[in-house]
Amino acid sequence: MSKLTYTQAITAALREELARDPRVFVMGEDVASNIVGYHPGFAEEFGRERVRDTPIAEAGFVGAAAGAAMVGMRPVVDMMIAPFMYVAFDQIVSIIAKATYLYGGQTKMPITIRAGMWHGASIAAQHSDRPMATLATIPGLKIVAPASPYDVKGLLKAAVRDDDPVVCLEAKRGWPTAQEIPDEEYVIPLGEAEVKREGADVTVVAVSSAVRAALDVADSLREDGISVEVVDPRTIVPLDIATILASVEKTGRLVVADPCHEMCSVASEVSATVAEHGFWNLRSPIARVTTPNTHIPFSPALEPGLYPTADRIAAAVHGVLAAASTR
């Protein structure tokens, strides 16, 4: 076992995949110069052809990844910060997500798009997006949202090995501490949720940066005699709804904590699906803890409370327990 931070786990995953498969290459702004810290020594180890700095031209290099994938390469595109994807949205939506379908299965599109969700960093509305749900509305993209160092390493490796486009939405600020990670290689299959804490009273489905907060809530409420089960979908598309429904069947109560904006959030999808298919197991109304439908403000006095914090999640857990007890 080694203690790795979220960033170090990403580095480990990328290094292993670059070493394993010569078709894999990384491409993005300042990757060779290691601006964010994901690629230390990569340029020397793998060469600048495979650790490829790009101009600030997202549509161009994301689209180039599509073409490279069509001819047998397995590009890993580093968007640096998630909203930079919008500059390349035509390439992502109209080419990358659709090519396999549009051309009747003649081509696979083995592309990994890595995008950091840097919310909570005082970088205001244009840099703080969490576009998990936005992307989930586009068929043809697989989407992972690893919350922990362990998960990001295993899911990123699965993403690189997958024959379809996978967007890896990373929230390194959501898991600020290092974590023990096996030294042996492992891959986490796409589409498998994990029950990160077992509990009996309330299910909290927590997404991305809400996972760490939900685990903290579970730990603190245990002292009050409340048993919280924390389920992390880990993969947004395809969503492992079976694990979520099984948890709700056990606890009878559901809180969904998700840093997306509330409208059509991942939390909305989880809530709707549980309402459709798990309604008779519910003992109280479902509660969503999301980011309200306002932009992310710059001021540190305004921003932090907008996300699913431990306090907001805990309040929602108390709320669903109270709602049940008044019946």
Tell me the catalytic residues: 127
Please identify, using beta-carbon distances, which residue of 139 and 225 lies nearer to another protein. 139
For residue 23, give the amino acid letter. R
Please list every residue from 120 through 179 that binds another protein, using CB under 8 A: 139-140, 142, 162-164
For residues 202-230, one letter each, b for 16 or more C-beta atoms within 10 angstroms of the residue's C-beta and e for the rest, the string is bbbbbbbbbbbbbbebbeebeeeebebbb
Figure out which of the listed residues 94, 264, 297, 298 binds another protein, where binding follows CB under 8 A.
94
Figure out which of the listed residues 15, 173, 277, 283 binds another protein, where binding follows CB under 8 A.
277
Report, in Å, the least distance between residue 136 CB and another protein.
Answer: 13
Q: Which stretch binds another protein (CB under 8 A): 46-54, 168-176, 263-271, 285-293?
A: 46-54
Q: How far apart are CA 30 and CA 28, in angstroms?
A: 6
Q: Which two tokens stand for residue 327?
A: 């019946």
Half-sphere exposure of 148 (CA within 13 A, CB side): 20
Figure out which of the listed residues 241, 254, 310, 313 binds another protein, where binding follows CB under 8 A.
241
Q: How far apart are CA 320 and CA 302, in angstroms?
A: 27
Q: Which stretch binds another protein (CB under 8 A): 213-221, 238-246, 283-291, 309-317?
A: 238-246
241 Cβ contact list (under 8 Å, min separation 6): 270, 273, 274, 277
Quick note: the x/- pattern for another protein over 293-322, rule CB under 8 A, is: ------------------------------
Query: Which stretches of the chain bind another protein, using CB under 8 A?
Result: 25, 49-50, 54-55, 57, 59-73, 75, 90-91, 94-95, 99-109, 139-140, 142, 162-164, 189-191, 235, 238-243, 245-246, 276-278
